[in-house]
Structure 1
Amino acid sequence: MIPSKNKSDITEEARSLAMETKQQDSEEENPFLDYREDTADEWMRAVYRMYTRQKQREAADAAEGREFCPVEEGISAGGRIACLKSWGVPERILKNLEGLNETKAVKYVREFNLSPREGWCLVLSGGKGTGKSTAAAVWLYENVPPEGAPTYQTRYWWNGTKVARTNGYAKDYERMIQSKLMVIDDLGVEYQDKNGNFQQRLDELIDERYSNFKKTIITTNLNAEAFKDRYGERVADRMREGFAWGGGFMELSDDSMRKVRKVR
């Protein structure tokens, strides 16, 4: 029975949820197959059932410490954006994805995505406004899986400052290693670690992901030389290893993402 209190709110939320994820129920249960005014009550009940199932899944996921991402078969653009938001991509970057043209940087990210070699890193280097973070978000956006089941802890967006924090890093280290795809955004803005502890942890993380065939994209405002000086020769070398396979260190020019220079 549908509760009378806030019935319209429940229905509207369910409608939005279903339309964004394009949930594919059986013909008898899918309320969007045949909506008519004379069957409005039946339609509302069907929508509420969908809403209830969704909330039950979310509650179960939360109880087990999993993050829910509303991925369903035939996922829409709205569903993809919702998924990226749950993975940690900031709102300011999500807004840039609307109506985005294919620039050279975005095309390069797509080539990296299609590379048959797993485990490589791609570093997008450039100043503010060069579109490096947006290009990295495109990579995740186009990798939202089409399968009809929620995905848990498979792809993540991390801020470089968060990765550098010892406590947060230790807590999330396993998730970072296991994520099929991973973005570390704005690496280089974190507090300089004079003891070199973060440099060692970053080296271990990249090495673990490389060994487990997990692709990684890093965005940074540091150029190739400054990157090597800050994180060491070993880390810099690992970044350059995938040059022939769509990875490597890519410097974006100041005129946004149009002109690209690859650095070995």
Structure 2
Amino acid sequence: MKFISFPCYLVVMQLPTMAIGKVLSANNTSIIQDEVLAHKLGLIPIKVDPRLFEYMSENDVPNEKNTIVFKLNALCKKGSQRLIVLSSELKWLPNSSELILATESPASYSITKQKTYTSFSSSQDTLPEFSNYPIAPKDVDIIIAKHGPGQEIELEAHVVKDIGMTHAKWSPVATAKYGVLPKVVFLRDIEDDEAETFVKKCPIKVFDMEDIGKGKKRATVARPRVCTLSRECIREEGWDKNVAMRRVNGHII
């Protein structure tokens, strides 16, 4: 088992991926707090190859090589029906952030170009990797929020590259489980009415009936992989002498 645990650890904790690492909220009048909303957004998988991007440290400036920018602007107009905000509402901004960076001297906006939260030297959609395959959420039907009339969310989400050891949202897989292949052995043939009774004992339908000719039927193991070894089929007294619940040593599923 230890030989299986190590590669699982590498995939879950050490394999780099892309996830929303920063959320800049401009307006949020929904019932979801900013912190909870940011956490939900971070768990939305992004359809992009992390090998095309660089890691970003605390001292790095967000640019087109280490940051992906999405915007979300969802408004439920007054008098309209309830609005379900889905992950499809996240729109990719290949040309950089659109939110103006807060500075100590707002008057400087009239003199110099307004600075945003990222510094892109070129548009990401000009790269051949993204021209035919635009960056987007992997699944477009993930529910982000449910708006009532008059509620609105306006924000930017910045995607960066990292690993699962930093936070679970950068883990490219979900928690996985594994076990040994179950093996159900009949110690004697179970036929006809007795077989029908036995097949019905299993709540997950591991067993089935097979025709053995001359109008006779016999119980058989049809789906051994779905067996959880719950022993429900042999719980009644005497059945453990007819059926044995075992495992196939060395066969991992």
TM exceeding 0.5: no
The bucket for the TM-score relative to the shorter chain is under 0.3
- The structure richer in helix per residue is 1
Higher RCO by CA contacts (8 Å cutoff, separation 6 or greater): 2
- The structure richer in strand per residue is 2
Which is greater in Rg?
A: 2
- Normalising by the residue count of structure 2, what TM-score does the alignment of the two structures yield? 0.22
- Normalising by the residue count of structure 1, what TM-score does the alignment of the two structures yield? 0.22
